[in-house]
Amino acid sequence: MNITSAQYDTGPIGTNNMFVNIIIDGKAMAVPMQVGNRHYDEILRQVAAGTLTIEDAD
């Protein structure tokens, strides 16, 4: 998966990080922070490998 950007999103309530908004293969997607979601698993793998950094929420 070619993830070119990642940023936390606190959702509409705006308290805790709930999603990671990513650009993957050129497409914008909202990824729930749940292990077992294949995109979130890949985000965690790339962060652990040091190849991806998740930006703070706006």
Partner 1 sequence: MSKAAQLAALIGSGQAQGNQNIIFNGAMQVQQRGTVTGITGTAYGSCDRFKLQMTNAGTWTASQDASAPSGFTTSNKLDCTTADASLAAADFMFYAQHVEAQNLQNLKWGTSSAKSLTLSFWVKSNKTGVYSTEIQHGDMGSGNYWNNNTYTISSANTWEYKTIPITGETSTAINNDNGIGLYVRWWLASGTDYSSGTQAANTWQGTAANRVKNGQVNLADNTSNEWLITGVQLEVGDVATPFEHVDFGTTLAKCQRYFTTYMDVGGFSMYADGYITATLANTFALPCTMRISPTVALVGTWAISNLTGQPTINSNNPNIINIYQDVSGSGRAYLYAATGDGFTADAEL
Binding residue (CB under 8 A) for partner 1 from 7, 8, 39, 44: 39
Report the residue number, 25 or 53, with the smaller CB distance to partner 1. Answer: 25
Picking from 1, 3, 6, the residue whose alpha carbon sits closest to that of residue 53 is 6
3-state secondary structure of 38: helix
Give every CB contact of residue 18 below 8 A, 6+ residues apart in sequence.
Answer: 9, 10, 11, 32, 33
Question: With binding defined as CB under 8 A, does residue 29 bind partner 1?
Answer: yes
- Shortest Å, Cβ 7 to partner 1: 12
CB of 58 to partner 1, least distance (A): 11
